[in-house]
Amino acid sequence: MPEQQDMPKLKTRKAAAKRFKVTGSGKFLRRRAFRNHLLDHKSPKRKRYLGTMAVVDERDADNVALMLPYSG
């Protein structure tokens, strides 16, 4: 009887793991752009909004899921 060989484990892209978070329903969250520098001329309201999380677009969700194979 031959020994059973397991498939190799899939590796998580660590850069993606630091940037995306999974919601309870399986969607991915991301940070918003444009809140790193040049903040003087942006209004406080805009900066508050840019500090919130956004849902990854459905067209990009498959790519993110491939980078995070064990995300859920």
Q: Please answer whether residues 27 and 61 qualify as being in contact, where contact means their C-beta atoms are separated by less than 8 angstroms.
A: yes
Q: Give Cα separations from 14 to 26, 64, 69 (angstroms).
A: 19, 12, 11
Digit-by-digit pLDDT tens for the chain (72 residues) are 668 889 899 999 999 999 999 999 999 999 999 999 999 999 999 999 999 999 999 999 999 999 999 997
* CATH number for region 14-67: 4.10.410.60
Q: Residue ranges per domain, the chain?
A: 14-67
The DSSP 8-state label assigned to residue 50 in this structure reads H
Residues 6+ apart with CB under 8 A from 17: 67, 68
Place of tokens 């060989």: 5
The predicted model scores a pTM of: 0.85
